[in-house]
């Protein structure tokens, strides 16, 4: 039987496949936003199924702890910072041809927030999202934090 969790994990995997196969800023930005959307949808579904205990378990996991930073990406994309990514210098493996000496990475927090349209709702744990984004997302190759989140979801839901 297909459930919301099955659909969301499948969609997150598909978005990650695009991230692994592109160095194009437009395609990468779109896939990062899509992946962040599905990761947050999964996070919310699992939290609703296990009120209270879920956040503590998630935040105690190295892979799950990245989710507040991914939530910031999703919220930023929703509120105007549609391009939350940039080209950054450096090699990425596996090497694709023609070889580029850059990769797609998450923009600095200040750049993302500068593109925000409207006022951020201060009741939504922004300080935590900002701190996790800065430590576990900012500057990283696009797929890195999302792969960690997918691992968390696969372990938590036995979808691996």
Task: Check residue 100 and give its pLDDT.
Answer: 54
User: Which is more confidently placed, 20 or 151?
Assistant: 151
pLDDT digits (tens, 9 = 90+) for 101-150: 567 889 899 988 888 877 777 766 899 999 999 999 999 989 999 999 99
User: Which is more confidently placed, 91 or 125?
Assistant: 125
The full length of the chain comes to: 160
Which residue segment(s) compose the domain that 132 sits in? Answer: 4-157
Q: Domain total for the chain?
A: 1
Task: Check residue 103 and give its pLDDT.
Answer: 74
The average confidence (pLDDT) of the chain is 85
């Amino acid at each position: 039987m297909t459930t919301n969790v099955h659909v969301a994990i499948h969609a997150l995997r598909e978005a990650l496949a695009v991230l692994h196969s592109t160095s194009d800023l437009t395609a990468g930005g779109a896939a990062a936003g899509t992946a962040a959307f599905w990761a947050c949808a999964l996070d919310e579904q699992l939290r609703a199924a296990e009120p209270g205990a879920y956040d503590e378990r998630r935040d105690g996991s190295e892979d799950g702890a990245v989710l507040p930073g991914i939530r910031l990406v999703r919220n930023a994309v929703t509120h105007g910072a549609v391009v939350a990514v940039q080209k950054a210098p450096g090699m990425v493996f596996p090497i694709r041809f023609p070889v580029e000496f850059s990769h797609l990475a998450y923009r600095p927090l200040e750049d993302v927030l500068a593109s925000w349209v409207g006022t951020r709702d201060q009741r939504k744990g922004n300080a935590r999202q900002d701190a996790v984004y800065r430590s576990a997302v900012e500057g990283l190759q696009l797929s890195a934090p999302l792969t960690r989140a997918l691992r968390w979801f696969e372990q938590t839901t036995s979808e691996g």
